């Protein structure tokens, strides 16, 4: 049989010309002057592993075919006849007639990779069925698909390994052959074309459901977007930490939160609410606020506050409903009633609702028939905003500060220059703050930072005409404005604390009035005030007067409200110290006695003489001695108050015993002191539990 020259299988992966050979995969060119292909094979072995495996497969098949052509094994010749040329087929037929062999048909078909179970293939691309990611099919290989499954879809990758294992076991059964040389050659070819993928190293068994839940809870608790689970860093971390865990798409975790986790949390909250309203016969208070959002529109936020069976303060966000209709009192009241029905809370179990001072919110709760209170923090915000807008000069200074802060925020060059000035002046490296129109406290922070950076700002704006300039009178006005706003900031901070209750309102209002009396308008005729800052003093004096009058008007009836007065009286830190008169104290004692089912035998309306001020009355003391801070004013009132009672009230002896039994405590100790007082004041304790929000309702409104 005449030999013929065969073409190397390497040319399936290269484009050859007379002088060069170009790789189809990467485009790299090689010289063909030597006439050999070893450098081309080396290139495939180093850079294109998959193509190199195909090359080995083709070479071994060709070598096996050549061995069969030189042998007289009719079975092998007939089996591989589909690889032969017409001439070779004729030779094989002649050999089979000379050496007949058992008839056995083996159908040859093109193998399909098991990886296509997890990808949707087209002519140019392949799309992952799990995550939808697209890959190019220009190379016609599957290694990048297998790598994707191994990195991202662990469960599918394990299935792929199982499929490959089954295929290898199925192909391991070979027909019997008589020629030992061919048998060895075929085994050699089989070993060369088999790509063995090592399974993942054995590791600790992971509970996929638990990991799913923890990942979903992490996203919720840290307020992270659900797409975080698809970030490269998180995928790498999970692949290393829990290699046997199959990381899902973000839609899976969002669905898990919306269904399983949400239902579980609602069930737990429902159990707590039911235990408070049914078993403990307690009440629940609410804070209601309307939050305008640019993306989702206006939303109604309702939060519940109560004491659980362990006498611990608990609060839950009960509802965040988007207001789809016009913002009216009737619509908001229906939303509130729907929330109560959804959670199974009877209206009689609602102690009170803390709300803002908007007319619509007032009307909605009036229509719902629920006791409600104005938010003290919101009132202070209205007071301060009216004071700042009462003087155009003050408003103009705030506008200048806003424009200057925006200038530095938008210019890195200005920031670098300011930093250099502060280094030269040996001053702290500070940056201007930008305020928010909805939060007056941010305006105060901006003004205070301007005051702290006055020297470097003056140096910076000296030679610049495009930025706002400040006169001496404006700097004086700014400084006086900061001093005037500080008591209101202290008031807001105290009531915004998580441990704050409605019992803090009356004492803080009394302290605020005390501080405002100490900040009297400056004497414009004194020698010290005949300075360039005289104009600034005049401006701020009018602003102070406006805010002081507004404060007196806004909190005029706070002592007449039983929710505020009873809560203050039952708080062991305050008791009757901060009431403005003994008449108020008497009324509160009667209310508390009624709660204890002890009927008071005193008719206040039949008194011949009008109510007298008690000797140790805080108001009298405040008028004589004042402080410049709320904390100092509160300490002054508590230390100067007297324990003497100016008049006799035939109230419950138990109630009067409570009035003088407990000393000054920290905020965190108030509930604990009541819990330990159960044996001493059992009747009052039990009745107070039914009115527990008088003690512990958190009054801060989340939007304030």
Residue 428 scores a pLDDT above 70: yes
Q: Give bridge partners of residue 314 from the DSSP assignment.
A: 306
Contacts of residue 424, Cβ cutoff 8 Å, sequence gap at least 6: none
Compute the distance between CA of residue 492 and CA of residue 515 in angstroms, rounded to an integer: 14
Using alpha carbons, list the distances in angstroms from residue 226 to 243, 319, 617. 21, 22, 59
Residue 450 scores a pLDDT above 90: yes
Give me the pLDDT at residue 559, please: 87
Q: Of 557, 575, 605, at which residue does a domain stop?
A: 557
> 473 versus 602: which is more confidently predicted?
473
Length of the chain: 704
CA dihedral over 556, 562, 566, 567, signed as positive or negative: negative
Domain of residue 124, residue span: 115-167
Could you tell me if 92 and 58 lie in one domain? yes
Q: Is 602 inside any structural domain? A: yes
Residue 687 scores a pLDDT above 80: no
**Tally of structural domains, the chain:** 4
pTM for the full predicted model = 0.59
Could you tell me if 435 and 548 lie in one domain? yes
Q: Note the pLDDT tens digit of each residue in 167-201.
A: 655 554 343 444 444 344 444 444 433 333 344 44
Q: Note the pLDDT tens digit of each residue in 121-133.
A: 777 788 888 887 8
Q: Note the pLDDT tens digit of each residue in 603-652.
A: 444 444 444 444 344 443 444 455 666 666 667 666 665 444 434 333 44
Could you tell me if 566 and 637 lie in one domain? yes
User: Residue 514 in contact with residue 637, Cβ under 8 Å?
Assistant: yes
Q: Is 570 inside any structural domain? A: yes
Could you tell me if 551 and 659 lie in one domain? no
First CA to last CA distance, the chain? 99
Could you tell me if 443 and 524 lie in one domain? yes
Compute the distance between CA of residue 303 and CA of residue 698 in angstroms, rounded to an integer: 10
Q: What is the mean pLDDT of residues 196-217?
A: 68
Contacts of residue 223, Cβ cutoff 8 Å, sequence gap at least 6: none
* CB neighbour burial string for 472-498, b if at least 16 within 10 angstroms, e if fewer: ebbbbbbbbbbebbbbbbbbbebbbee
Q: Is 660 inside any structural domain? A: yes
Could you tell me if 146 and 42 lie in one domain? no
Q: Note the pLDDT tens digit of each residue in 523-556.
A: 545 444 445 556 667 778 888 888 999 999 989 8
Q: Of 68, 98, 128, at which residue does a domain stop?
A: 98
Q: Is 60 inside any structural domain? A: yes
pLDDT over 70, % of the chain = 65
Q: Is 253 inside any structural domain? A: no
Residue 417 scores a pLDDT above 90: yes
Dihedrals φ, ψ of 318, to 5°? -90, -30
Q: What is the mean pLDDT of residues 342-350?
A: 88
Q: What is the mean pLDDT of residues 385-412?
A: 91
Instruction: Report CA 142 to chain centroid distance, whole Å.
Output: 40
Residue 701 scores a pLDDT above 80: no
> 486 versus 525: which is more confidently predicted?
486
Give me the pLDDT at residue 167, please: 64
Residue 43 scores a pLDDT above 60: yes
Q: Is 328 inside any structural domain? A: no
Q: What is the mean pLDDT of residues 213-223?
A: 91
Q: Is 431 inside any structural domain? A: yes
Could you tell me if 399 and 509 lie in one domain? yes
Give me the pLDDT at residue 466, please: 84
Could you tell me if 564 and 548 lie in one domain? no
Q: Note the pLDDT tens digit of each residue in 9-19.
A: 888 888 887 78
Compute the distance between CA of residue 198 and CA of residue 99 in angstroms, rounded to an integer: 44
Could you tell me if 85 and 147 lie in one domain? no
Q: What is the mean pLDDT of the chain?
A: 73
Q: Is 460 inside any structural domain? A: yes
DSSP code at position 227: G
Could you tell me if 412 and 549 lie in one domain? yes
Q: Of 505, 524, 557, at which residue does a domain stop?
A: 557
DSSP code at position 25: T
Could you tell me if 599 and 460 lie in one domain? no
> 660 versus 214: which is more confidently predicted?
214
Residue 424 scores a pLDDT above 50: yes
Could you tell me if 549 and 653 lie in one domain? no
Give me the pLDDT at residue 613, please: 42
Residue 1 scores a pLDDT above 50: no
> 359 versus 72: which is more confidently predicted?
359
């Amino acid at each position: 049989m005449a030999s013929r020259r065969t073409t190397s299988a390497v040319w399936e992966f290269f484009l050859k010309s007379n002088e060069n050979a170009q790789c189809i995969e990467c485009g790299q060119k090689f010289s063909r002057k030597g006439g050999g292909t070893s450098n081309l094979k080396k290139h495939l072995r180093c850079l294109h592993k998959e193509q190199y495996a195909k090359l080995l497969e083709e070479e071994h098949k060709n070598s096996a075919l050549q061995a069969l052509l030189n042998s007289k094994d009719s079975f092998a010749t007939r089996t591989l006849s589909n690889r032969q040329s017409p001439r070779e087929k004729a030779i094989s037929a002649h050999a089979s007639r000379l050496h007949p062999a058992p008839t056995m048909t083996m159908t040859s078909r093109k193998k399909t990779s098991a990886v296509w179970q997890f990808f949707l293939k087209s002519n140019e691309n392949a799309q992952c069925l799990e995550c939808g990611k697209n890959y190019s099919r220009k190379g016609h290989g599957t290694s990048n698909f297998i790598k994707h499954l191994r990195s991202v879809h662990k469960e599918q990758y394990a299935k792929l390994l199982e499929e490959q294992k089954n295929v290898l076991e199925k192909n391991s059964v070979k027909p019997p052959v008589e020629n030992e040389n061919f048998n060895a050659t075929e085994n050699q070819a089989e070993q060369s074309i088999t790509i063995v993928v090592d399974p993942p190293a054995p590791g600790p068994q992971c509970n996929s459901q638990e990991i799913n839940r923890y990942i979903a809870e992490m996203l919720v608790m840290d307020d992270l977007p659900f797409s975080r689970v698809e970030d490269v860093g998180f995928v790498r971390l999970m692949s290393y930490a829990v290699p046997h865990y199959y990381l899902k798409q973000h839609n899976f975790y969002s669905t898990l939160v919306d269904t399983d986790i949400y239902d579980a949390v609602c069930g737990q909250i429902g159990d707590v609410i039911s235990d408070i309203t049914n078993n403990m016969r307690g009440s629940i208070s609410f804070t209601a606020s309307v939050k305008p959002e640019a993306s989702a529109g206006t939303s109604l936020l309702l939060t519940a506050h109560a004491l659980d069976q362990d006498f611990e303060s608990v609060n839950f966000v009960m509802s965040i409903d988007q207001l789809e209709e016009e913002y009216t009192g009737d619509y908001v009241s229906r939303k509130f009633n729907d929330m109560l029905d959804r959670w199974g809370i009877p209206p009689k179990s609602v102690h009170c609702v803390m709300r803002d001072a908007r007319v619509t919110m007032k009307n909605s709760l009036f229509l719902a028939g629920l006791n409600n209170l104005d938010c003290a923090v919101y009132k202070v915000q209205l007071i301060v905003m009216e004071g700042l807008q009462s003087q155009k000069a003050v408003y103009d200074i705030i506008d200048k500060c806003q424009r200057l802060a925006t200038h530095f925020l938008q210019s890195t060059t200005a920031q670098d220059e300011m930093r250099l000035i502060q280094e030269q002046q040996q001053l702290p490296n500070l940056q201007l703050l930008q305020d928010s129109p909805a939060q007056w406290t941010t305006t105060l922070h901006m003004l205070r930072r301007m005051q702290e950076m006055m020297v470097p700002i003056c140096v910076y704006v000296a030679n610049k005409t495009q930025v706002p300039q400040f006169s001496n009178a404006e700097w004086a006005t700014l400084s006086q404005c900061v001093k005037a706003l500080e008591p209101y900031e202290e008031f807001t901070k105290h009531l915004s604390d998580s441990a704050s209750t409605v019992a803090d309102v009356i004492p803080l209002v009394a302290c605020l009035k005390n501080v405002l009396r100490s900040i009297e308008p400056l004497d414009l005729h004194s020698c010290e005030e005949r300075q360039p800052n005289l104009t600034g003093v005049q401006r701020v004096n009018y602003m102070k007067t406006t805010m002081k009058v507004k404060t007196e008007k806004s909190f005029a009836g706070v002592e007449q409200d039983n929710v505020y007065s009873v809560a203050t009286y039952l708080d062991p830190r305050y008791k009757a110290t901060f009431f403005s008169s003994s008449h108020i104290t008497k009324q509160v004692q009667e209310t508390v006695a009624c709660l204890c089912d002890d009927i008071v035998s005193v008719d206040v309306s039949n008194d011949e003489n009008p109510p007298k001020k008690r000797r140790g009355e805080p108001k009298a003391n405040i008028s004589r001695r004042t402080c410049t801070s709320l904390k100092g004013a509160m300490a002054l009132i508590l230390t100067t108050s007297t324990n003497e009672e100016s008049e006799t009230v035939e109230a419950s002896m138990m109630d009067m015993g409570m009035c003088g039994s407990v000393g000054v405590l920290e905020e965190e100790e108030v509930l604990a002191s009541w819990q330990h007082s159960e044996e001493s004041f059992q009747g009052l304790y039990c009745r107070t539990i039914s009115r527990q929000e008088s003690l512990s309702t958190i009054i801060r409104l989340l939007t304030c």
